[in-house]
């Protein structure tokens, strides 16, 4: 089969790899329907995280079940399935508490930009749709496997409530999905911070009520101007840099909350500053598995259409261009078709 392999920063290639096989009775093999490139894939691609040995890439997937291990009864060959970027058994203490992305048996997916994928913990991880969904829904269902679930978690972690005033920091795919989540959770006002017209337009289509183009201290001042001088109820930090975190913390009101879902890189939070800002801070890898049934329903019923974040579609064979387009910000997010 074909699969994407990163060799060094800037060097992702499509290669012929061994077909995945059932290794444990809890595994499943899926044939990829569509997959994609994630903003977090750009960290090693840009040399901001070590690449190490050459290795496969990709953690977002929807597909058709090909084969299941002997202990997998929840899904069967031929079904269309969606899973999280983090696998989970759905039975451990963390899963029972609603945090399957910290499943005690978790394995992070990392080989999904490929024709076929082995899914560990398939019993707890995969959710089958009701029949085979129409192909035009596949991008939105794919988004649910990571970016939409992550945007939802940002909104939940920041405690968005009906009537909330929300700020979204970051206009990547996760930030844009966070706009959808804030809107769905009843936010009255959703302020998207973006300097890119195409992303602003998508944010507005997704439900943003205001766009702030300023950054840094100017951005914070603008947010305060828009929020009675005190800041927003909820801030969704969807980037992961120190500057984004600083902006998020300074944009929330006392007693407000920051949900942070970009994996932090070189971010340190000063305890005393956090204390006196009175802002709650909650983040982590999104508990996507918990959201899957609900988010699948919202997609299938046409309520939300997070697949619009894919503004570039390429054949899997052109994965290298898919990375490059995102790196150069020519694309928000690249969909790959096997």
- The answer to whether 240 and 38 are in contact (CB under 8 A) is no
Q: Which residue of 22, 51, 204, 269 would you call a contact of its own copies, by CB under 8 A? A: 269
User: Does 296 sit near its own copies (CB under 8 A)?
Assistant: no
- The answer to whether 31 and 63 are in contact (CB under 8 A) is yes
Retrieve residue 197's tokens.
Answer: 């017209």
Any idea which residue has 């929807």 for tokens? 62
Nearer to its own copies, 52 or 98 (CB): 98
**Least distance between its own copies and beta carbon 88 (Å):** 11
Which residues, numbered 145-164, are part of the site for its own copies (CB under 8 A)?
A: 157
| Alpha-carbon distances of 1 from 166, 177, 254, 319, rounded to whole Å | 44, 32, 53, 15
Q: Which residue of 98, 131, 162, 302 would you call a contact of its own copies, by CB under 8 A? A: 98
Count interface residues toward its own copies (CB under 8 A).
42
Burial of 318 (0-12, 13-18, 19+ CB in 10 A): middle
CB count in 10 Å sphere of residue 98: 9
Enumerate the β-bridge partners of residue 114: 3
User: Does 276 sit near its own copies (CB under 8 A)?
Assistant: yes
User: Does 51 sit near its own copies (CB under 8 A)?
Assistant: no
Nearer to its own copies, 137 or 281 (CB): 281
Q: Which residue of 18, 136, 268, 328 would you call a contact of its own copies, by CB under 8 A? A: 268
User: Does 285 sit near its own copies (CB under 8 A)?
Assistant: yes
Burial of 240 (0-12, 13-18, 19+ CB in 10 A): buried
CA atoms of 78 and 31, how far apart (whole Å): 10
Nearer to its own copies, 157 or 190 (CB): 157
Nearer to its own copies, 83 or 100 (CB): 100
Q: Per CB under 8 A, which region of 40-48, 70-78, 193-201, 270-278 contacts its own copies?
A: 270-278
User: Does 224 sit near its own copies (CB under 8 A)?
Assistant: no
User: Does 9 sit near its own copies (CB under 8 A)?
Assistant: no
User: Does 280 sit near its own copies (CB under 8 A)?
Assistant: yes
Retrieve residue 168's tokens.
Answer: 């979204």
Q: Which residue of 263, 300, 320, 324 would you call a contact of its own copies, by CB under 8 A? A: 263
The half-sphere exposure of 251 on its side-chain side, counting CA atoms within 13 A, is 33
Strand 127-128 to 80-82 pairing: antiparallel
User: Does 50 sit near its own copies (CB under 8 A)?
Assistant: no
Element (H, E) at 10: none
Which positions touch its own copies (CB under 8 A)?
A: 93-94, 97-99, 101-102, 104, 157, 228-230, 242, 245, 253-255, 257, 260, 263-272, 274-285, 287
């Amino acid at each position: 089969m074909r699969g994407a392999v990163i060799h060094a920063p800037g060097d992702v290639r499509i290669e012929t790899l061994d077909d995945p096989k059932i290794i444990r009775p809890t595994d499943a093999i899926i044939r990829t329907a569509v997959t994609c490139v994630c903003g977090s894939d750009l960290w090693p691609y840009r040399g901001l995280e070590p690449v190490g040995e050459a290795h496969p890439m990709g953690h977002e997937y929807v597909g058709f079940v090909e084969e299941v291990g002997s202990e997998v009864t929840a899904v069967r060959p031929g079904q269309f399935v969606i899973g999280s970027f983090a696998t989970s058994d759905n039975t451990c203490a963390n899963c029972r508490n609603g945090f399957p992305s910290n499943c005690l048996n978790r394995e992070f997916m990392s080989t999904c930009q490929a024709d076929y994928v082995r899914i560990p913990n398939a019993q707890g991880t995969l959710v089958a749709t009701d029949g085979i969904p129409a192909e035009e829904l596949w991008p939105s269902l794919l988004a649910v496997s990571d970016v939409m679930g992550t945007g939802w978690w940002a909104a939940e972690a920041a405690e968005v409530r009906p009537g909330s005033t929300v700020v979204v920091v970051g206009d990547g795919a996760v930030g844009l999905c966070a706009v959808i989540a804030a809107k769905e959770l009843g936010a009255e006002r959703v302020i998207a911070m973006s300097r890119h017209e195409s992303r602003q337009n998508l944010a507005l289509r997704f439900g943003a009520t205001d766009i702030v183009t300023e950054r840094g201290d100017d951005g914070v001042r603008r947010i305060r101007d828009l929020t009675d001088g005190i800041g927003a109820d909820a801030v969704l930090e969807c980037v992961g840099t120190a500057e984004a975190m600083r902006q998020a913390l300074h944009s929330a009101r006392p007693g407000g909350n920051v949900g942070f879902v970009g994996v932090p890189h070189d971010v340190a939070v000063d305890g005393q500053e956090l204390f006196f800002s009175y802002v709650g801070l909650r983040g982590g890898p999104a508990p996507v598995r918990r959201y899957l049934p609900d988010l699948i329903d919202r997609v299938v019923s046409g309520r939300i259409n997070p697949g619009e974040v894919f503004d570039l579609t390429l054949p899997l064979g052109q994965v290298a261009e898919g990375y490059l387009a995102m790196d150069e910000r020519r694309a928000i997010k690249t969909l790959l078709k096997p």
